[in-house]
Amino acid sequence: MTRRRTPAALVEADPGPAHRIEFDGRPVRALPGQSIAAALWADGVLAWRTTRVGGRPRGAFCGIGACFDCLAIVNGRANQRLCLLPAEPGTVVTTQEGHGRADLAV
C-alpha cells in the first residue's frame, strides 16, 4: 500500500478530526489549526477576491499577512486576511469584490 505524501503524512501529524467552514454557500473541509486560506487551497479554491479595477482574481500570495491579496469577507466583515485567520468551525467566507464595501462610491 502506498502512503499518500502530504505534509501532514510526512511529519506524521495527527491534527484531529476535520470540521466544516462555508465558502460562497458551500461546505469546505478544514483541519484544526489550519488557516482559512490553507483550507480553501486544500479544497482547490485559489481565488476569493477580485480587484477593484478590472475584476481580476486574487487569493493568497505571501501567506504571512504582508501583501493583502488574500482579503475576503469573513462572518460579514470585509477585508479580512485569510492567511492569518484560523478556519474555525462554522466560519462563513464570501468572495470579496473590490474593496469589499458596496456601500461606498468608487
pLDDT at residue 12, rounded to an integer = 77
95 touches 24 (CB < 8 A): yes
pTM of the model: 0.80
Cα–Cα nearest to 81, from 94, 91, 67, 92: 67
Q: How large is the C-alpha radius of gyration of the chain?
A: 15
Mind listing the pLDDT tens digit for each residue in 26-82? 999 999 999 999 999 999 999 999 888 888 988 988 888 888 889 999 999 999 999
pLDDT at residue 63, rounded to an integer = 84
Local confidence band at 101 (pLDDT 50, 70, 90 cut-offs): low
What is the spatial distance between Cα 36 and Cα 70, in angstroms, rounded to a whole number? 10
Higher pLDDT, 24 or 61: 24
C-alpha cell read off for 83: 492567511
Higher pLDDT, 85 or 14: 85
What is the spatial distance between Cα 105 and Cα 59, in angstroms, rounded to a whole number? 24
pLDDT at residue 46, rounded to an integer = 93
pLDDT at residue 7, rounded to an integer = 72
